[in-house]
C-alpha cells in the first residue's frame, strides 16, 4: 500500500516529487527547506530562522501522515557548510533530542534555492 502525503502547512513540492509517501509501516518525508508556504518566501535571515522553518515544514508533513517526531527513526541533514553543524544541532535537538533517531549529516556543494539546510526523515508507524 502506497499513499501520497500532502500537508497544506508545508511548501508545495518544487519538482516532480511528493512531500511525503506512506508505504506500509513507513512514512518517507522528502527533504524540507526553509520555504514559507503562506508567503512563498525563503526564511534565511539567520540560521536559527532557517532551521526552525525547515523543522516546522518537516513536522507538518509528519503530522499530515499521522506521525510525530517521536515516530522518526532516521533523518538526513544536508548542509551547505559543515561549520553550521553545531547551530543546526541546537534547533534539531529541540524537536528530536529525546527521541534520538538515527541520522547522518553531510556537507553538499549546493541545495535547492540556495538554502543552507535541508532535512528529510523516515518515520515508523506500524499498521493497526
> pLDDT tens digit string along 59-108?
999 999 999 999 999 999 999 999 999 999 999 999 998 889 999 999 99
Domain CATH code at residue 106: 3.30.1330.40
**Structure confidence at residue 97 (pLDDT):** 86
118, 59 contact by CB (below 8 A): no
**Structure confidence at residue 51 (pLDDT):** 97
Cell output for 47: 540560521
CA neighbor of 61 nearest in space, from 10, 116, 115, 113:
10
> pLDDT tens digit string along 28-63?
999 999 999 899 899 999 999 999 999 999 999 999
Residue 108: give the domain boundaries.
Answer: 2-124
Pairing of strands 72-79, 2-5: unpaired
- Between helix 85-96 and helix 47-64 the angle, nearest 10°, is 30
Entry field: residues in the chain: 128
pTM above 0.85, yes or no: yes
Amino acid at each position: 500500500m502506497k499513499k501520497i502525503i500532502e500537508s497544506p502547512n508545508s511548501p508545495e513540492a518544487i519538482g516532480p516529487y511528493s512531500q511525503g509517501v506512506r508505504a506500509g509501516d513507513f512514512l518517507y518525508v522528502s527533504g524540507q527547506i526553509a520555504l514559507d508556504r503562506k508567503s512563498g518566501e525563503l526564511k534565511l535571515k539567520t540560521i536559527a530562522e532557517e532551521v526552525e522553518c525547515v523543522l516546522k515544514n518537516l513536522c507538518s508533513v509528519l503530522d499530515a501522515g499521522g506521525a510525530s517526531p517521536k515516530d522518526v527513526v532516521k533523518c538526513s541533514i544536508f548542509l551547505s557548510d559543515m561549520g553550521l553543524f553545531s547551530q543546526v544541532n541546537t534547533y534539531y535537538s529541540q524537536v528530536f533530542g529525546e527521541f534520538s533517531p538515527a541520522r547522518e549529516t553531510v556537507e553538499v556543494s549546493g541545495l535547492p534555492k540556495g538554502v543552507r539546510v535541508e532535512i528529510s526523515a523516515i518515520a515508523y508507524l506500524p499498521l493497526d
